[in-house]
Structure 1
């Protein structure tokens, strides 16, 4: 009881941050408070503030792109780079020598190379893309923030073990707030290697979506699914159909396609054949949803977020080693 009293200010403070775990925070997970509308209030306020920040960052982004992202929750641009630049980028990423870390989720493995300033020093094509003004305008608008997303080179490897199916292949939402992720695919994506799946329009706060969020908030803390208990709700197919304006769309696309998604919308990794993989540049942005201004975009802050992440990973390595295990994202000697 005494420990709970001491932690109460922390739990209260988390209500005005991006904290999402119903399991870890008894206020976020409180059935009584959520019956009174706490979760729905957080969802609604976060979305209103995101729309305000996006409005501030819409300059230089085509009107049709803005409308598409708001209405359907994603943007897709094929042939994003000139062919010569694209081929050079694929070669550079495939041969890059940066630190690679791996995480296993079910029968899938994700390998990621953090595209920190240090790594990009030897990757001029990738560095040029991430500094391109048009690319940055899209990223900032869709993220609703001036700080650039943290970027990786990523390979997703399917069916590499006899473990249960990759949990990310089940329809879900990432969190209660709008969150941006992007993929610039460096090879073709098909039903063989697992296309991204998204329910168009499920990013919007429809009456059905808010009713579902309200119902989920009553049960999430004790939910049998650990991802749901931690705030990343899993979605049944019939529920997804009610929340979108079209059936789930599989993004089977050629290489050199840029896909940006609001992962508050219902989405998943698509089914894939065992032993297949796909390579992409990948990045995400998730910021405090309750700050109405779009932050600062200084390069020093962009660099700082990479140093912070690298420090966190080293600390995770030390804590895991003390327990005689590997960190969830652990270093490997192999490349991408």
Structure 2
């Protein structure tokens, strides 16, 4: 009976955002994927999300919608008025808050969760995220009325010691089988030195070539040697990346005050970076069940609830890690300022 119950749960996850081929033997079944299970999830998840996006399109500029749908990203330089941007950079630099750290290979990521309480204490960030036009764009790009979960993020590129593994985010990959929205409002210049976001334009569409690639990957994913691929975040070779988009990988070297919104179902990576460099931004992401036909409710209560849920999840992870005598993947650190010195706002 227990085995039957587990398979009922695993089977039910087929119509959710679950993605791990290794953790779910139904999703990872070679027999079912040979019959097209994974490809069917990719194709239907994409088009159902596009239906929700169409419902959320009113008020979103046509040029933004076209760029996002055709290229997979929206790019807006000089996004904020200069005075507002400088005030935001200064406020972020002096803000004290709980910082959580995730270590992956030779990179560390620091984030401050922008809960409603934190935003009340950081009105400069609140003013940016409360802008109605930005909210409409977020909702359209995510295909859901719920707003993204937002952070202040600083990516730190450490000195590489002998034996240190490479940051896995620097390998070309897709986040999951479904459309997923992430955004960055860069608070400093992004150059080849501090690891620009790399993206393959046009790689977000379920073309025949993309579906053939997804099909081939689904037949090997559950047994794949790469942990991330087995977990549903497929790693992509340079050769595959070159043929699955409209052009090769593009590095977004941009000035501070640039807004970038990307669909990370597209092929992307964190760019190579010089040791000791960092990259500061307002960052956020939104992912929902791709098989929901309606865009949901954007009430403030639900937006606030997701922060409470994430906070509780992080606390639970801390408790479990402490019981094992280790640190959770996103653990608290003593540092309370996201940067040591204010970045230049150019």
Match of 2:297 in 1: 296
1:26-85 deviation line (CA, Å, top 9, x unaligned): 000000000000000000000010110000011111111101100000010000000000
Aligned to 1:192: 193
| Aligned residue number for residue 12 of structure 2 | 13
Aligned counterpart, 1:277: 278
Query: 1:49–1:290: 8 Å Cα contact kept in structure 2?
Result: yes
The two structures have a TM-score, normalised by structure 1, of 0.99
Correspondence 1:65-80 to 2 at 5 A: 65-80=64-79
Deviation at 1:3, TM superposition (A): 3.8
Partner of 1:119: 118
Which residue number corresponds to residue 242 of structure 2?
A: 241
Which residue is equivalent to 1:64? 63
**Which secondary structure state, in structure 1, belongs to the residue aligned with residue 220 of structure 2?**
helix
In 2, distance between residues paired with 1:286 and 1:4?
30
Deviations 1:166-208 (A, max 9, x none): 0000000000000000000000000000000000000011111
On the 8 A contact 1:60/1:137 being kept in 2, the answer is: yes
Look up the match of 2:83: 84
* 1:180 pairs with 2:181: yes
Aligned to 1:213: 214
Alignment-derived partner of residue 25 in structure 2: 26
Matched with 1:227 is: 228
CA apart distance, 1:220: 0.1
SS of alignment partner, residue 121 of structure 1:
helix
Q: Which contiguous aligned blocks of 4+ residues in structure 1 show a shift greater than 6 angstroms?
A: none
* SS at structure 2 position matched to 1:282: strand
Unaligned runs of 5+ in 1: none
| Equivalence for 1:49 | 48
Alignment of 1:315-334 (within 5 A): 315-334=316-335
Q: How far apart are the structure 2 equivalents of 1:116 and 1:161?
A: 34
Is 1:166 the counterpart of 2:167 in the alignment?
yes
Structure 1 residue 137 and structure 2 residue 136: aligned?
Answer: yes
Distance (Å, rounded) in 2 between the aligned partners of 1:179 and 1:10: 24
Query: TM-score if structure 2 supplies the norm length?
Result: 0.96
SS at match of 1:284: strand
**Aligned residues of 1:200 and 1:244 also touching (Cα < 8 A):** yes
**Root-mean-square deviation over aligned CA pairs:** 0.8
Cross-structure match for 1:257: 258
